[in-house]
A = this chain, B = another copy of it.
Amino acid sequence: MPYFDAASAAPLHPVARQALLASLDEGWADPARLYREGRRARLLLDAAREAAADAVGCRPDELVFTPSGTRALHDGIAGALAGRRRVGRHMAVSAVEHSAVLQSAAALEAAGGSFTEVPVDRTGRVAPGAYAAALRPDTALAALQSANHEVGTEQPVAEVAEECRAAGVPLLVDAAQSLGWGRVEGGWSLLTASAHKWGGPSGVGLLAVRKGVRFAAQGPADERESGRAPGFPDLPAIVAAAASLRAVRAEAAAEGARLRALVDRVRARVPELVRDVEVVGDPRRRLPHLVTFSCLYVDGESLLHALDRAGFSVSSGSSCTSSTLTPSHVLRAMGVLSEGNVRVSLPVGTAEEDVERFLEVLPGVVASVREQLGAPTETAAPAGEAAELVVDALGKRCPIPVIELAKAFPGVPVGGLVTVLSDDEAARLDVPAWCEMRGQEYVGEHSVEGGVAYTVRRLA
């Protein structure tokens, strides 16, 4: 039963399991205590810190362990912002950061600060120049992920770090998705990561703060982890996290190349096997193990369930699979199709035949979901006579508004207009994406009672 959602959580690496078991016996005591069990725990903690710092590329005293990647981001951002509060209360972030970064920025705004979201191109990548333009005299902190968690696109961290250095702004890099594959290059100031993304146990994040970076830990004072991560450290998990990071790094070059080839195959074959698919993310500057595509006229939740029944565990950024009823903010920022979205992220050791089997299964699964939804078929209907048609899809959820649009479209001649009325957030993204995929013109949107009208001109 292939599990293809490593970007969410990877199964425990055998080295992590072994280290965890060993340190359950050796590392349960308080490393702050003076007696032998405490000293033994301290040695394990020190060794784990050294191993993790070596993998990150920082000094051991620059790195602390946190209870998760999210907490590393929350606490790291809060500490860095407070440390430079005199400079100002503005933060720069890319539009495709992890929600923990964006929610930290929102919390800053709620507390009276402000933030700028740097846009990305259609591959999900920020331009260093655009990032530089977001830096202001009152910018306390900039944040940029090393690679995107939903589409795999690598960000130009070294170039942005150079822009930040020139502007005197510390750069925090969220390396959650990439740290298992290698160090983050460039002059970053703070770095965070999450162990369960590289096959370490859950319950461990990393926060590195370069010497000289102003940092004022927030929240009640606590002596643990240099005062930067309160609470008793989860030592067995920390030991397992450090050991598995070292292990995956040792395999990273070879395994990365192997998975990259499998992902290349998925990227190439999916559009050949399934019509009306958009493969998203940068085709070259990307994580080795991750590929994302979106399928027109498909409901993401139905697709996930059907793939699950077929034995494949994947993730989706479609609105109908989230609790918020909005498509993933990453897909929105990229301006790509969100419906029928599938993220495939291969764990270390994924077998080639599992990927081949996925490619065999996918076309039938997509076709059956489309059939259930009454998606339009490829046979072109003769052009209709109405100069303008209005499709009322109010109250209907993704992907129905786009299906209704596609079905109505043959009813107008070339040059004619079709307007879709929809109150589904996904339509804002998916109607223009449909135009792009179909070579039609997206005219624009305007408010109507109960929703939004999206207008498309037939070009072909």
Chain B proximity mask over A199-216: 1 for CB below 8 Å, otherwise 0: 001110100000000000
Cβ-defined contact, A230 with B70, below 8 A: yes
Total count of chain A residues near the partner, CB < 8 A:
66
Q: How far is the CA of A103 from the CA of B227 in the complex (A)?
A: 12
Cβ-defined contact, A24 with B34, below 8 A: no
Cβ-defined contact, A203 with B67, below 8 A: yes
Contact (A230, B1) CB under 8 Å given A201-B236, A237-B237: no
- How far in angstroms is the closest Cβ of chain B from A94? 17
- How far in angstroms is the closest Cβ of chain B from A128? 26
Q: Which residues of B contact A219 (CB under 8 A)?
A: 74, 78, 107
Q: Which residues of B contact A24 (CB under 8 A)?
A: 12, 17, 20, 201
Q: How far is the CA of A106 from the CA of B222 in the complex (A)?
A: 12
Cβ-defined contact, B323 with A223, below 8 A: yes
Q: Which of B3, B231, B307 lies in contact with A68, CB distance below 8 A?
A: B231
- Within 8 Å of chain B (Cβ to Cβ): is A442? no
Cβ-defined contact, B203 with A70, below 8 A: no
Q: Which of B33, B100, B104, B106 lies in contact with A5, CB distance below 8 A?
A: B33
Q: Which of B3, B5, B104, B203 lies in contact with A234, CB distance below 8 A?
A: B203
Q: Which residues of B contact A70 (CB under 8 A)?
A: 222, 224, 230-232
Those of A105-158 within 8 Å (CB) of chain B = 106-107
Q: How far is the CA of A235 from the CA of B78 in the complex (A)?
A: 26
Cβ-defined contact, B202 with A234, below 8 A: yes
Q: Which of B1, B33, B103, B235 lies in contact with A8, CB distance below 8 A?
A: B33
Q: Which residues of B contact A223 (CB under 8 A)?
A: 323
Q: How far is the CA of A10 from the CA of B21 in the complex (A)?
A: 16
Q: How far is the CA of A396 from the CA of B222 in the complex (A)?
A: 28
- Within 8 Å of chain B (Cβ to Cβ): is A299? no
Q: How far is the CA of A11 from the CA of B28 in the complex (A)?
A: 6
Q: How far is the CA of A29 from the CA of B8 in the complex (A)?
A: 8
- How far in angstroms is the closest Cβ of chain B from A299? 13
Contact (A34, B104) CB under 8 Å given A232-B9, A237-B237: no
- Within 8 Å of chain B (Cβ to Cβ): is A315? yes
Cβ-defined contact, A232 with B196, below 8 A: yes
Contact (A106, B12) CB under 8 Å given A233-B202, A234-B234, A308-B34: no
Cβ-defined contact, B232 with A202, below 8 A: yes
Q: Which residues of B contact A196 (CB under 8 A)?
A: 28, 232
Contact (A315, B33) CB under 8 Å given A104-B220, A220-B74: yes
Copies of this chain: 2
- Within 8 Å of chain B (Cβ to Cβ): is A413? no
Cβ-defined contact, B69 with A232, below 8 A: yes
- Nearest opposing residue in chain B for A3, CB measure: B37
A-to-B contact residues, CB < 8 Å: 1, 3, 5, 8-12, 17, 20-21, 24-25, 28-30, 33-38, 67-71, 74, 78, 99-100, 103-104, 106-107, 194, 196, 201-203, 205, 219-224, 230-237, 301, 304-305, 307-308, 312-315, 321, 323
Q: Which of B103, B232, B235 lies in contact with A220, CB distance below 8 A?
A: B103
Cβ-defined contact, A202 with B28, below 8 A: yes
- Nearest opposing residue in chain B for A311, CB measure: B36
Cβ-defined contact, A28 with B5, below 8 A: no
- Nearest opposing residue in chain B for A224, CB measure: B70
Cβ-defined contact, B33 with A106, below 8 A: no
Q: Please, could you name 27 A-B residue pairs with CB atoms under 8 Å apart, sorted by A?
A: A3-B29, A5-B33, A11-B29, A20-B24, A33-B315, A34-B301, A34-B304, A34-B305, A35-B307, A35-B308, A35-B312, A36-B313, A67-B67, A67-B234, A68-B234, A69-B231, A70-B222, A70-B224, A74-B219, A103-B222, A107-B219, A201-B234, A202-B232, A202-B233, A202-B235, A203-B203, A203-B234
Q: How far is the CA of A94 from the CA of B328 in the complex (A)?
A: 47
Q: How far is the CA of A312 from the CA of B35 in the complex (A)?
A: 8
- Nearest opposing residue in chain B for A31, CB measure: B9
